[in-house]
Amino acid sequence: MRGLKDKVAIVAGAAPGNIGGATAIRLAEEGMKVVAADLNEAAATTIAGQIRDFGGTATAKAFNITDEASYKELIEAAVSEHGTLHGLFNVAADLSPQNIGRDSDVTTVPLDVWQHTIDVNLTGYMYGIRHALPIMIGQNSGPIINTMSSAVWMGEPERVAYQASKSGLVGLTRHAATLGGKHGVPHQPAVPRRHPHEDRGGNDDRGIPREHRRHGALPATR
């Protein structure tokens, strides 16, 4: 990656052991100033500390992606501290057993699971775009990356709320691209590949149950 030195990025959903945390560290390795944000402030602080340990620049912020005021405050804090914002990576998701573990099919999914998943994966991402996009349009630069899922195209007999939320994110990303693209603000989907230790059934060759692994997940304590 080139041209990232001293640029500013927010990783919304950065915690140890997940995609967000790994991305925050990788961006910092390229010289970016990173704001690691997560519902669990201690998790975000751990990531920021790991970045500072190798000489990178990072701060940690607690935020709740389902609360627009909280997301707006996160973006304003980043701009206040660094003067601008060059990138936003929306990666938060609640993959806890209490949520995705109860995300069944359309005939049985609990409505609280449905609503919470939409609030996190779709409405929450919209909050970030809503408040970051005007800043980036004003400076004619700064990509917004939204984490997608292959479940959108494959289809599954379970996790209906997760699939629906990620499918909606396709439309949201395309819509935002029509606004930002002509101002140098691309919107891109990021589709994570299967974990190298995981087979197609979700089994882990290291003996770690799926429900105990976190790929871009918000803490299970929300």
| pLDDT tens figures, 74-129 | 999 999 999 999 999 999 999 999 999 999 999 999 999 999 999 999 999 999 99
Residue 126 lies in a domain: yes
Residue 3 lies in a domain: no
Given pLDDT bands bounded at 50, 70 and 90, which one contains residue 210?
very low
Given pLDDT bands bounded at 50, 70 and 90, which one contains residue 1?
low
Residue 156 lies in a domain: yes
pLDDT at 189 over 90: no
Q: What is the pLDDT of residue 177?
A: 94
Q: What is the CATH number of the domain that holds 47?
A: 3.40.50.720
Q: Count of alpha carbons within 13 Å of 38, Cβ hemisphere only?
A: 31
| Enzyme catalytic residues | 162
H or E element, residue 37: strand 33-38
What's the Rg (C-alpha) of the chain? 17
Residue 173 lies in a domain: yes
Contact 85, 142 (CB under 8 A): yes
CA dihedral 135, 137, 143, 146 (to 10 degrees): 70
Cα-to-chain-centroid distance, residue 42: 17
H or E element, residue 61: strand 57-62
The pTM of the full predicted model, rounded to 2 decimals, is 0.85
B/e letters for 24-62, b = 16+ CB within 10 Å, e = fewer, are bbebbeeebbbbbbbbbeebbbbbbebbeeeebbbbbbb
Residue 20 lies in a domain: yes
pLDDT at 164 over 80: yes
pLDDT at 137 over 90: yes
Residue 117 lies in a domain: yes
Residue 218 lies in a domain: no
Residue 124 structural domain: 8-212
Domain count, the chain: 1
Listed residue (151, 89, 148, 92) closest to 120, CA to CA: 92
Q: Which SS3 state, helix, strand or coil, does residue 190 take?
A: strand
Residue 2 lies in a domain: no
